[in-house]
Amino acid sequence: MRIVLLGAPGSGKGTQAAILQEKLDLPHISTGALLRAAVKDQTEVGQQAKDILDRGDFMPDEIMLRLIEERLSQPDVENRFMLDGYPRNLAQAEALDALLEKLGKPIDEAIQIDVDPERILARILRRAAEEHRSDDSEEVFQHRMRVYQEQTAPVADYYAERGLLTRILGHGSPEDVNRLLLSVLDLND
C-alpha cells in the first residue's frame, strides 16, 4: 500500500497519517517533519530550509526530491508507505512518479482531504498555541493558502487523471475522518 495524502496546509493530513501509521503500521513520510528535523539538527539542508519555512514558502523541488529519495531507500518503506506533504506541485508529482517507477513502487492511491479554509485557520491557530511552531500564524497561513491554490491544488487533478484520486471531507473529528480514509482504502476499523 503506497498512499499520497493531499490537502491544504492544516487540513489534517499529518493527523490522519499518524493515525494510519499507528493502526496499520504504515511508514509515514512527512516532508514537513523531515524538514523540521533537518532544521533542528542544523544540517546543511536544515540551514537552507529555516528561512524558507518561516516565510511559509515551499522548498525547491530538487531538495525535496533528494529528501524523499533518501527516505524511500530505507528498508522500512520497501512496499508500504504514505506520503504527507509531497508532492506539492505538478513538477514534483511528475518527478515522484519517475522516481517511484525507477524504484518499482508506484502510488496505489491519492486521497485529498477537503476542509473549508475558515476551519483550517482555526486549526492552525490552535496548533500554533499548542506546539509553538514558527510556521503557524495567520499571515503565514494566508500566504500558504495562496501558494497552495496556485501550485498544489492542481496535483489532485494530476492524480484524478490517472484514476488514483479519492476526495474525502475532513470536517469531522479525527476519528470520523479516519473512518472515511479506512473506507477509501477498503479497510475496516
Please list the rounded mean pLDDT of every run of 10 residues in the chain (189 residues): 92 91 92 82 82 76 84 88 91 95 93 92 84 77 88 94 96 93 82
Q: Which helix (H) or strand (E) holds 131?
A: helix 117-131
What pLDDT is recorded for position 188? 61
Q: Is 40 a catalytic residue?
A: no
Contacts of 80 (CB under 8 A, 6+ apart): 1, 2, 26, 27
85: alpha, beta or left, given left = phi > 0 and alpha = psi -120 to 50? left
Provide the b/e sequence for 122-154 (b: ≥16 CB within 10 Å): ebbeebbeeeeeebbeeebbeebbebbeebbbe
Q: Is 2 a catalytic residue?
A: no
Task: Name the fold adopted by 2-184.
Answer: Rossmann fold (3.40.50)
**In the annotation, is 105 catalytic?**
no
Q: What is the pLDDT of residue 189?
A: 53
Catalytic residue among 13, 36, 71, 123: 13
Active-site annotation holds for 127: yes
| Residue reference for cell 508500504 | 80
Q: Is residue 88 annotated as a catalytic residue, yes or no?
A: yes
pLDDT at residue 166, as a whole number: 96
The helix/strand/coil state of 111 is strand
pLDDT number for residue 14: 86
